[in-house]
Structure 1
Amino acid sequence: MVDCFPDSTCPCCGNTDVTVHDTPFYRHQVHEIPKPTIDITEYRLYSGQCQHCNELLRAKKPDHVSQGIMGPNLLSYIAVLAGQYHLSIRKTRSLLKEQFGTTFSIGAISEAQTKVASMLTPLHQAIRDSIQTAPLVHVDETSHPRNDEEGLRWCWLVASENLVYEKILFSRSMHSAKTVLGEHYSGFVVSDQCPSYNWINPEKHQLCWSHVTRNLQQIADYSGGGYTAYVGRRLTLIANMIFRIRHRLERKEITHGQYLRRMQRLQKSLDDWLEKGSTLIVQRYKGRCEKLQQHRQSLWLFLNDTSIPLTNNEAERRIRGCVIQRKISYGTTSDAGDKFRGRIHSLVETCKKRGLSTYAVLSEIVQAVTARQPYPNVFNL
């Protein structure tokens, strides 16, 4: 803080008797960052020899010292650059060199990410166990390439009210869905229409109406027009009305009774038009209508509980970071890379949900593990 005082001589009359007020009339703040520096501490270990038995004695590093060449803060910084800001290993290397003037090899940065992934193992498992007991979750999945493989792997995401769990698995199968959700999960699940979730009890499985509307719009946009496009337009209109009425309820423009009555009328209309859609000549769209009829119960769970959302947008938003990193940094090359991405994204998205600093939370974990202290319960799980 710098105090600036007026001249002791009045420019108007030349009087030198000027009384300075106790409080400033204006405050001007200038934000600046200090020059980035990196601290390098060298530990010199000496040896000695017993004068009686000639036993060779060697010094040991202090217990709190990191085993590698990177300290806890640098490890956390590298992990956050990748997980939250989607920098590739080479871009991270370039940034560190420009900021601090220190060059690390590609292998050293990759090893740093592997170390952080290992340190996040207890937290990742705790998030999984806690999220599998949540009353309602959103689930989604997206492709994840391995740069040295032709086939795809899949990044799975499960999001509850205040937790996010990500894990990269080999397939998009039902078995993978059971792995991330828990085979005996008893809460409500909001998902898209992927067949991997068909094992979930229909009384607990809400389908995303955004995906349903998008599929119905494709029927309405059928290039052949005619009766097929007409049925699609009617179905799309009903789906849009469902959103409109739900939004009116949320804005308290209608009562809950009015909401239910209008939804029940739309429910009947949708059933009628899906029945007509099941007679379409175009097999693709006919099958789409039949599938919605088959999963009819999963379309309307939100009527029984207003806490159940209409869409799976929460999972779509949370998995976006994985998609961005896939596009910028491409895929991974090892199982260690898969573990790092799943665990760091779980941490990043959970911190976003809770309004916490990812770097601060990760630094607390890495420092505790490095110093061999008790593992911190950063999310009170």
Structure 2
Amino acid sequence: MSGGPAASLPTSVEELRALVGELLEANAGLREVIATKDHQIASQERRIVELERRLGADSSTSSRPPSSDSPYRKPARRSSRKSSGRRPGKQPGDSGTTMPLVDNPDETITCDPGCCGGCGASLAGAVVLGVQRRQVIEVSPPPPPRVTEYRIVTRACPACGATASAPTPGCPPARVQYGSTVLARAAELLCAHYLPVARATRLMRSMTGVPVSVGFMASVRARAARMLEQTFLPQVRQLLRQAGVLHVDETPARAAGGLHYVHVAATNYLTALHTGGRSKADIDAGDVLPGYAGTIVRDGYAGYAHLIDAHHAWCGAHLLRDLRAIHDADPHAQIWAAAMATTLTEATTATHAARAAGKPALDPHTLATIRNHYRGALAKALTDNSARAGPLAHDALTLAQRFRDHEEIILRFVADLTVPFTNNQAERDVRPVKIQQRTSGGAWRTLTGLADFAIVQSYLSTATKWGLDTLDVLTQLFTGQPWLPPAPEPC
């Protein structure tokens, strides 16, 4: 047998024992090193999973806005809605829209053949077999501005010598100023179409022929806001306090070099926006929610929890996004999230069907089924994630505890059919803040400018919900008689 020198081998029992001891000690050290590395690898694997989950988050699996989604890695759309089986676009049997012919066109051009295309004979006086009407609609150039001059006559009394001037109803206080229609069109470009001041100025000049200045355009929103503060805002706030269900939300907005918030309280027919921070006092500053005793539909932000006089309902769309994020991270281990999402969507379908049938409430059997499915998915979540470790299990357990602790708030929409499943109304009404930011450099220069935006947007949003034209209501505003909503909703 070949091998090393005989002197390298133990020659006695004592040497053999010493060698075995050394080997055991070395083995123990290696085992410790391996265990440490295994722990590090497991920790890094959990970290990688967590980072991949965060990196994969988008607007469909979190509360992040769609604008934050990467344009280079657009995820496949995964809507909670089930396919209806219909093809996209206009459905068979739906009424279409066709441009109608005008009965009295401004100009008529007759195209009459002069000679026969076959033999060349003259067609003068020939029998007319038919006339086709075709019309082209054009936009006329803007007419020159209409200028009205007020001449205020002052006379001297022949009896006493006193001077007297004629009354001036509707007469402008300044020597030259723009009228209500010019102010309304300027405000519409700025406030209803969210154009930057410089661009709105150019568009105003080209479309109306009125040589407005940038300074004038910049002052229009503030002028409108001052007229609405004492008329429209008190009225809409009073009507909102009478509503049975209110949608509330808030969104960040940068102004004066800092981060602020625009708050909204809204219904299907009313909108009131105000600005501030995110504290309880800032939420109450809108003068709608303090003392309100109806139902508030909101997201899970705890800042609204102090409104104890009202019932609360959580937005189901936010919950579905949270459930999807948990399920997508580990579909096998987090099957409960899919079951809970299915329960919520099926409950929503049941409420829609009940409303369509004119029912005041869901039948007791349907209610019991929804709650049983809800609690079954919840029990699965608590059981599966209580003993697990890792960020995903922690997040899943936290979400499950929210479903456990706030069951009544989450299921308010099935207990009361006047309460919708989502808070989409508030999110739609607060979205113009983001539109204005994108078109105007991402920020407001002053807090006053942000507050003025909120006031005017409240007016235009409410008028639009009532089916009114924004230019019409702005014209009414600048004539001194702003439109006011007559009731919480149309009779």
Distance 1:203 1:272 in 2: 29
TM-aligned CA deviation for residue 299 of structure 1: 0.7
Residues of 2 paired with 1:204 and 1:43: CA distance? 58
> How far apart in 2 are the matches of 1:14 and 1:220?
79
Task: After TM superposition, list the pairs within 5 Å mapping 1:112-123 onto structure 2.
Answer: 112-121=220-229, 122-123=231-232
TM superposition shift of 1:357: 0.6
Q: C-alpha distance in 1, partners of 2:252/2:365?
A: 42
**2:253 partner SS:** strand
Cα deviation per residue 1:233-258 (whole Å; 9 max; x = unaligned)? 42243123321342255257998456
Residue type at the aligned position of 2:485: F
CA contact (8 A) 1:209 1:239 kept: no
Of the structure 1 ranges 284-293 and 343-352, higher mean CA displacement relative to structure 2 is found in 284-293
- The reply on whether 1:167 has 2:274 as its aligned counterpart is yes
Q: Is the 8 A contact 1:90 1:106 kept in 2?
A: yes
Equivalent residue runs for 1:127-146 within 5 Å: 127-146=236-255
Deviations 1:63-94 (A, max 9, x none): 31344622111111111112221101111112
Alignment gaps of 5+ in structure 2: 1-103
- Alpha-carbon distance, 1:286 to partner: 3.6
Alignment of 1:359-374 (within 5 A): 359-367=471-479, 369=480
- Amino acid across the alignment from 2:241: Q
Matches within 5 A, 1:168-247: 168=275, 170-180=276-286, 181-201=288-308, 204-222=311-329, 225=330, 230=332, 232-247=334-349
Query: What residue identity is the alignment partner of 1:125?
Result: P
Structure 1 residue identity aligned to 2:463: C
The residue number in structure 1 matching 2:39 is none
Q: Under a length normalisation based on structure 1, what TM-score does the superposition of the two structures give?
A: 0.81
Counterpart CA distance in 2 for 1:79 and 1:361 is: 11
Q: Could you say what secondary structure the match of 1:113 adopts?
A: helix
Matched residue type, 2:233: H
Greater relative contact order (Cα < 8 A, sep 6+): 1
Aligned mate of 2:425, from 304, 314, 325? 314
Q: 1:121-175, CA deviations, whole angstroms, 9 ceiling, x for partnerless residues?
A: 21122111111110011111101111x32x211111111131111112x201222
Q: Give the whole-Å Cα distance in 2 for the aligned partners of 1:303 and 1:251.
A: 12
Aligned-partner residue type, residue 431 of structure 2: R
8 Å CA contact 2:262–2:454 kept in 1: the answer is yes
Is 1:323 matched with 2:434? yes
- Residue 153 of structure 1: aligned partner: 260
Q: Summarize deviations over 1:176-207 as a string: whole Å, max 9, x none.
A: 22333321101111111111111234971110
Structure 1, unpaired ranges of 5+:
370-374
Query: In the alignment, what sits opposite 1:87?
Result: 195
Aligned to 1:290: 401
After TM superposition, the structure 1 stretch with the greater mean CA deviation from structure 2, 249-258 or 113-122, is 249-258
Percent identical among aligned pairs is 21
CA distance in 2: counterparts of 1:328 and 1:199, whole angstroms: 36
Which residue of the partner structure matches residue 74 of structure 1? 182
Q: Is the 8 A contact 2:294 2:310 kept in 1?
A: no
Q: How many residues align?
A: 363
Task: Determine if the alignment matches structure 1 residue 264 to structure 2 residue 376.
Answer: no
Deviation at 1:352, TM superposition (A): 2.5
SS at match of 1:132: helix
* TM-score, normalization by structure 2: 0.64
Judged with a 3 Å threshold, the aligned counterparts in structure 2 of structure 1 residues 376 and 142 are, in CA distance, closer, same or farther, namely closer
Could you tell me which amino acid in structure 2 is paired with residue 130 of structure 1? L
2:218 to 110, 114, 118: 110
Assess, with a 3 A threshold, how the Cα gap between structure 1 residues 115 and 66 changes in structure 2: closer, same or farther: farther
* Matched residue, 2:137: 31
Identify the range of structure 1 (170-179 vs 74-83) with the bigger mean alpha-carbon deviation.
170-179
1:333 aligns with 2:445: yes
Larger radius of gyration: 2
Q: What SS class does the counterpart of residue 162 from structure 1 fall into?
A: coil
* Aligned Cα root-mean-square deviation (Å): 3.5
Counterpart of 1:356 in structure 2 is 468
The DSSP-based 3-state class of the residue aligned with 2:242 is coil
Q: Distance in 1 between matches of 2:452 and 2:464?
A: 18
Amino acid at match of 1:299: I
